[in-house]
Amino acid sequence: MAVISAANAVKEYESGSKTLRALKGVDVSVDPGEFVAVVGPSGSGKSTLLNLLGMLDVPTEGAVTVAGERLSELSKRERTNLRRDTVGFVFQSFFLIPTLTARDNVTVPGLVHGDRSALQDRAETLLERVGLGDRLNHYPNELSGGQKQRVAVARSLVNEPDILLADEPTGNLDQDTSDQVLDVFGRIAAEDDVAIATVTHDPQVTEYADRVVELVNGRIES
Ligand SMILES: Nc1ncnc2c1ncn2[C@@H]1O[C@H](COP(=O)(O)OP(=O)(O)OP(=O)(O)O)[C@@H](O)[C@H]1O
């Protein structure tokens, strides 16, 4: 059963007196262990869709369901808690803290739960899994772009999310390092049963994703 889904999702943005319909009734769902890539031209609504799935925004019409909870039935605080407990995020620009080592960066989303030493151990295991076991004490400015993004992937997993959402995760990477990051996504989905959805312009993603969904002008092409 899908751990995350949008059903007939519509998203409108108001700017001045105009209404822009960015999503025009989108159905998409991702199962545990599945890696889905959303592709499409610039402005087709990819980030808008990802923001809905990540509970960063709510649909104007239609339903978004995350881990069995229907978004429209949750308060803002409940949404924030559900997001913290179930969703990991990866962004194009990594967003690592420059004054922290790779290992400490990975622990950051877990610090609200306490137990620093268990977190350090978990961070180490995650960094080893993404191929950075020899970079635990490196600072972000001592890492390549692909290594930084793999630190960000490890960080996104520290709270054991059911869902990992990635917005253009390879947008700042060259071909070889993009491949490494996409390969890590494929392995994590399969090994940890995490549902992964990424939006991307990267044509290489089709080689790694289980399913590719194309958005065109706010609708899914089938
Ligand atoms: N906050 C906002 N207010 C008004 N319009 C917005 C807002 N965010 C996005 N839009 C508009 O919604 C449409 C879809 O934008 P979105 O960012 O989802 O597209 P995208 O497919 O992710 O594009 P890109 O590949 O260029 O990042 C665009 O026409 C955009 O201008």
Instruction: Show me where the domains of the chain are located.
Output: 31-56+88-220
- Is the shortest distance between the CB of 14 and ligand 1 below 6 Å? no
Minimum CA distance residue for ligand 1 atom 6: 13
- Is the shortest distance between the CB of 20 and ligand 1 below 6 Å? yes
- Is the shortest distance between the CB of 13 and ligand 1 below 6 Å? yes
pLDDT values of the chain reduced to their tens digit, one per residue, 222 residues? 899 999 999 999 998 899 999 999 999 999 999 999 999 999 999 999 999 999 999 999 999 999 999 999 999 999 999 999 999 999 999 999 999 999 999 999 988 877 888 999 999 999 999 999 999 999 999 999 999 999 999 999 999 999 999 999 999 889 988 998 999 999 999 999 999 999 998 888 889 999 999 999 999 997
Q: Which of 44, 198, 220 to mutate to test the pocket of ligand 1 (most atoms within 8 A of CB)?
A: 44
Side by side, which strands form the sheet with 195-199? 87-91, 163-167, 195-199, 35-39, 211-216, 219-221
* Token pair of 111 as six digits: 């610090």
Task: Find out if CATH 1.10.3210.50 is the number for domain 31-56+88-220.
Answer: no
CA distances in angstroms from 93 to 35, 128, 162, 169, 212, listed in the order given? 21, 22, 23, 8, 23
pTM of the model: 0.93
ipTM of the complex, rounded to two decimals: 0.96
Provide the 3-class DSSP secondary structure of residue 192: helix
- Using the atom order of ligand 1, give the atom closest to the CA of residue 40: 21
